[in-house]
Chains A and B, each alone.
Chain A
């Protein structure tokens, strides 16, 4: 127990705001810190993957395993940076970059046919056959002017997703 917010000084908060390009207000950062401490039950400074999975709403997400690889072992600063993609104040470009990173599993800066297929597999599970998945993906890639062998870079993602309205805003509760 005790008052955990006292552990974040004004300097800390400002530094965190700087780090995430002011995606969060100071109060939001304090709120996130409470949440971080709540999930970091051992007080080790990072949240083990198991703890995320004990949140049922997260565990039932089809992308949970994929996101877990990005989340595992983050300290608070990185945790805030991770979530900053979901702030209303963050630019569309940053959000698309985030989506790109989710697809770019080996983080080599390129998203290949297999990377997208892998993501699609997480999203559709056993409800589409592997052949169907490949067929669908090949077709839409060709329609968009790519081939099965082309690998997409960040600027391609910008072009593809740049005009769509991404629904990626999460409100941080302030109490």
Chain B
């Protein structure tokens, strides 16, 4: 297991809870005398292994579904071609122009405000907040986002965090155009990283690197400070920690659920009629993802702001996280799987194997003692 062990040490902070999520499966019931047959019969374990080879719920979470072309007959084909010409030849350049104009307008207002007004100026904060919301609306317009928001709009007040399921970085843009959230997100390279550092920091966003355990502590501390603040922008967390294809939800990281403040679930469901909004970051850069969205007819999406939840007496943060995950999954029609999304980047810890070994060992010992 050398390969498995190497990466696990730094991930232990989050690993701690994966075992608590996995339920104990069939511990062999009725204790009876142990026969050679029982020792040699490894079929349940083999079955599990083969099942995972044939199909596994983890890979399914990150499978992108390419849109079905509908050019399959002689009448539809010219129409489809016309569509391609319109989408790439007219819509795309138009959208690029809109985006460029948006950025010019944004910077010509943002830069003077940012550098001329003092650090804790109320006016500056307000203007910057509005400008970030504005540029996000420009982004949404650049893919003709048709977004329906359900439920009450979030308000600015202390002691609350918003948690949402995560499909693509555009989740953030879609939510941000309505309310300037302070988001907690992975640090990105390139132009996205540049925007993160310069602009989004002004609305209180916090960036971290998934692989740095030190970063995680800093984030936890900043998060606590931020939620106590009175006029800070509301915090938004994507507790899955990675993009999932909007058919499943993976395990929630418990960080957001142990702050002791109100957790406001947000469910996001994309309609795949024109384009798959899942960002498969291993296959595609974010720029290419945006181009894909900008050459489609529209991005159709529903957003539900659900009722704020509080941790119940006697409930652990993990149980609380699961309860909120249930709410989001049901509302958005997603299936729950018991996996940590970080397994995309790391191998599962040997602890999970040990758990299975323990179950088997106990059943062997138990039956031996009864003799």
B348–A128 CB distance below 8 A: no
Question: How far apart are A124's CB and chain B's nearest CB, in angstroms?
Answer: 4
Contact assessment for A170 and B50 in the assembled complex, using a CB-CB cutoff below 8 Å? yes
Q: How far is the CB of B198 from chain A (nearest CB, A)?
A: 36
B63: nearest residue on chain A (CB-CB)? A38
Interface residues of A in 137-175 (CB under 8 A from B): 137, 139-141, 143-144, 146, 157, 160-161, 163-164, 166-173
Q: Which residues of B contact A60 (CB under 8 A)?
A: 348, 352-353, 356
12 contacts between A and B (CB under 8 A): A50-B3, A56-B348, A57-B56, A62-B356, A67-B46, A86-B54, A102-B46, A124-B361, A127-B354, A127-B361, A140-B34, A164-B41
B4 at the interface (CB under 8 A from A): yes
Report yes or no: A55 in contact with B56, Cβ–Cβ below 8 A. yes
Distance A46 CA – B86 CA, assembled complex (angstroms): 42
Contact in complex: B358, A116 (CB < 8 Å): no
A98 surroundings in chain B (CB, below 8 A): 46
User: Shortest beta-carbon distance, B17 to chain A, in Å?
Assistant: 15
B42 nearest CB across to chain A (Å): 6
Tell me how many residues of B have a C-beta within 8 Å of chain A. Answer: 45
- The yes or no answer to B116 lying at the interface (CB within 8 A) is no
Q: Which of B33-80 touch A at CB < 8 Å?
A: 34-37, 39-59, 66
Could you tell me the distance in whole angstroms from the C-beta of A64 to the nearest C-beta in chain B?
Answer: 7
A55-B59, A124-B361, A167-B43 are known; give 17 further A-B pairs, CB within 8 A.
A53-B4, A55-B52, A55-B58, A60-B352, A63-B42, A65-B1, A86-B47, A123-B360, A127-B357, A127-B362, A132-B365, A136-B34, A161-B40, A164-B41, A168-B47, A170-B47, A172-B54
B364–A128 CB distance below 8 A? yes
- Residues of B whose CB lies within 8 Å of any CB of A are 1, 3-4, 34-37, 39-59, 66, 339, 343, 347-348, 352-354, 356-358, 360-362, 364-365, 368
In the bound complex, do residue B42 and residue A102 qualify as a contact, i.e. CB atoms below 8 Å apart? yes
Q: Give the complex CA separation of A57 and B352 in angstroms.
A: 10
If the complex has contacts A55-B52, A57-B56, A125-B357, are A168 and B35 also in contact, measured as CB distance less than 8 A?
no
| Mask of A10-44 contacts with B, CB within 8 angstroms, 1/0 | 00000000000000000000001001001000000
A38 to B46, CA, bound (A): 21
A99 to B50, CA, bound (A): 13
Chain A interface mostly: helix
Would you list the 6 A-B pairs with minimal beta carbon distance, nearest first?
A127-B361, A125-B357, A57-B52, A124-B361, A58-B52, A144-B36
Residue of B nearest to A65 (CB): B1
Asked if B49 and A63 make an inter-chain contact with CB atoms under 8 angstroms apart, the answer reads: yes
A83 to B50, CA, bound (A): 7
**Interface: A126 (CB within 8 A):** yes
Q: Which of A58, A136, A140, A167 contacts B49 (CB 8 A)?
A: A58
Judge whether B354 and A99 touch: CB under 8 Å: no
> Assuming the A-B contacts A132-B365, A143-B36, A144-B36, are A56 and B49 also in contact, with contact meaning beta carbons closer than 8 angstroms in the complex?
no
Whole-angstrom distance between the alpha carbons of A116 and B37 in the complex? 12
Closest residue to B339 on the A side, CB-wise?
A56
Q: In the bound complex, do residue A62 and residue B353 qualify as a contact, i.e. CB atoms below 8 Å apart?
A: yes
Residues from chain A with Cβ under 8 Å of B1 in the complex: 65
B43 touching A157, Cβ below 8 Å: no
Contact B40 A103 (CB under 8 A): yes
In chain A, positions 90-138 with a C-beta closer than 8 Å to chain B are 95, 98-99, 102-103, 116, 119-120, 123-128, 132, 136-137
**Chain A residues, CB < 8 A from B43:** 95, 99, 166-168
A1 part of interface (Cβ distance < 8 Å): yes
Query: Are the CB atoms of B58 and A168 closer together than 8 Å?
Result: no
| Chain B residues in 8 Å Cβ range of A102 | 42, 46
| Interchain CB contact (< 8 A) of A86 among B35, B50, B356, B361 | B50
**Chain A, range 41-78, C-beta contacts under 8 Å to B:** 50, 52-65, 67, 71
**Contact between A127 and B358, CB atoms less than 8 A apart:** yes
CA distance A61 to B355 in the complex (A): 10
Give the distance in Å from the alpha carbon of A35 to the alpha carbon of B364 in the complex: 36
Is A125 touching B48 in the complex (CB atoms < 8 A)? Answer: no
Interface centre among B35, B53, B66, B357 (most CB of A within 10 A): B53
A59 contacts which of B36, B347, B358 (Cβ < 8 Å)?
B347
Question: A127: which B residues are within 8 A, CB to CB?
Answer: 354, 357-358, 361-362
Bound CA span A54–B48, Å: 15
**Assembly CA distance A170 to B51 (angstroms):** 6
**How far in angstroms is the closest Cβ of chain A from B371?**
8
How far is B47's CA from A57's CA once the two chains are assembled, in angstroms? 12
Residues of A within 8 A of B57 (CB): 57
Q: Decide: B35 and A169 in contact? CB cutoff 8 A.
A: no
- Expressed in whole angstroms, the Cα–Cα distance for A102 and B52 within the complex equals 17
A124 to chain B: which residues have CB within 8 Å? 357, 360-361, 364
